[in-house]
Amino acid sequence: MPIKCMKCNRDAIIFQKYSGMHICKRHFIEDVERKVKLTIRKQYKIEKGDIIAVALSGGKDSVVLLYLLHKIFGMRRDIEIVALTIDEGIAGYREETLEKARKLTSEFGIRHIVRSFKDEYDKTLDELTAQERELGACSYCGVLRKSLMNKIANEIGATKLATGHNLDDEAQTIMMNHLGGDVDRMIRLSPPRAIEGLVLRAKPLRKVPEKEVALYAIVNELPFDMSECPYAHEALRGEVRDMINEFEVRHPGTKYSIMRGFDKTVGLIAKEYPQAELSKCRVCGETCTASLCQACKLLGRS
Ligand code: SF4
Ligand code: ZN
């Protein structure tokens, strides 16, 4: 006999070990949306006049993010949503996800901006990493994508830059910063204030476990791409992910605890910890903590 939803007696589609609840499709959707709305209200305060740039890769997280923001704010005439997709130039991978991203934005009638590393930096990610072996592809990709996203967001006058990071991503990043003793990064993960030149980041899915983001995409029949980037093998993150997942099985709720502890202390740490002065990169003008930004450093500009 199928297990029943503990809220309404329909057939359950998921068991949330951390809450002890079996829930049906309707209550699952409600639960995800409640968490996202609460996160937006408490942490990101989206308001009249906001232009929300949404980082859309075409994978499940960003597709769910765009769908939810459209569902929550799509009817508001005083809030604009713009999707941004970066084509890093990863042969055999990005083409597929781009296709999914285009399908979704045209379905929703959302303005969609696509920019490539090739146009912006003169080289694709494949070309950049073929000639430079010192750093992994993800180091280039992460820094350059972040910088380009911020640049486009500024160009269109965006007031928020939303990304699809889920609970698993957040717990892993927090733990990686702890393991590396990297306090600067820890503070940057959740900037306590707006910084001129850096569009405010928002992560509305940060309270939704990765598995539930995937299930939400499936039950809503959203078009998302499941292929994995050929460079995806960041070793430390993989180890940390496995460790946290093992803990979560034995101690349900661990991922939420990691995030809660971080949220409670990051403001206090930021107050006491001396933070680097901000300036503008002398080459590209982006806001950064040195005279040359990370992106320009990686590109060998001087
Ligand atoms: Fe970029 Fe690495 Fe992600 Fe691939 S796995 S998209 S190279 S950050
Ligand atoms: Zn620069």
**Residue 169, marked binder:** yes
- The pLDDT value recorded for residue 234 is 67
Query: Rounded to the nearest whole angstrom, what is the distance from the C-alpha of residue 12 to the centroid of ligand 1?
Result: 35
- The pLDDT value recorded for residue 97 is 83
Question: What span, in angstroms and rounded, lies between the C-alpha atoms of 41 and 35?
Answer: 10
- The pLDDT value recorded for residue 84 is 97
Question: What span, in angstroms and rounded, lies between the C-alpha atoms of 187 and 192?
Answer: 8
Domains of the chain: 26-274 (3.40.50.620)
Residue with tokens 């049906």: 24
Closest CA to 168 of 214, 125, 134: 214
| Residues of the chain under the 70 pLDDT cut | 132-134, 191-194, 234
Using one digit for the tens of pLDDT, what is the confidence trace for 63-93? 999 999 999 998 999 999 999 999 999 988 8
- The pLDDT value recorded for residue 269 is 85
Which residue lies with its CA nearest to atom 5 of ligand 1? 232
Query: Rounded to the nearest whole angstrom, what is the distance from the C-alpha of residue 144 to the centroid of ligand 2?
Result: 10
Check: CB of residue 166 under 8 Å from CB of residue 209: yes
From residue 35, give the alpha-carbon distance in Å to each of 70, 174, 209, 239, 264: 16, 20, 11, 28, 18
Which residue lies with its CA nearest to atom 7 of ligand 1? 138
Question: What span, in angstroms and rounded, lies between the C-alpha atoms of 240 and 285?
Answer: 35
Query: Rounded to the nearest whole angstrom, what is the distance from the C-alpha of residue 229 to the centroid of ligand 1?
Result: 6
Using one digit for the tens of pLDDT, what is the confidence trace for 155-203? 999 999 999 999 999 999 999 999 999 888 888 887 656 677 889 999 9
Q: Does this complex have an ipTM over 0.90? A: yes
Pairing of strands 51-55, 14-16: unpaired
With a 6 Å cutoff on the Cβ, whether 142 touches ligand 1 is yes
Which residue lies with its CA nearest to atom 6 of ligand 1? 229
- The pLDDT value recorded for residue 66 is 97
Query: Rounded to the nearest whole angstrom, what is the distance from the C-alpha of residue 142 to the centroid of ligand 1?
Result: 7
User: Can you read off the two tokens belonging to residue 278?
Assistant: 């901000």
Eight-class DSSP state of 195: B
Q: Which atom of ligand 1 is the closest one to the Cα of 232?
A: 5
With a 6 Å cutoff on the Cβ, whether 237 touches ligand 1 is no
Query: Rounded to the nearest whole angstrom, what is the distance from the C-alpha of residue 140 to the centroid of ligand 1?
Result: 9
Mutation test residue for ligand 1: of 138, 234, 241, the one with most atoms within 8 Å of CB: 138
With a 6 Å cutoff on the Cβ, whether 229 touches ligand 1 is yes
With a 6 Å cutoff on the Cβ, whether 231 touches ligand 1 is yes
Residue with tokens 């379905």: 107
3-state secondary structure 13-27: CEEECCCCEEECHHH
- The pLDDT value recorded for residue 302 is 80
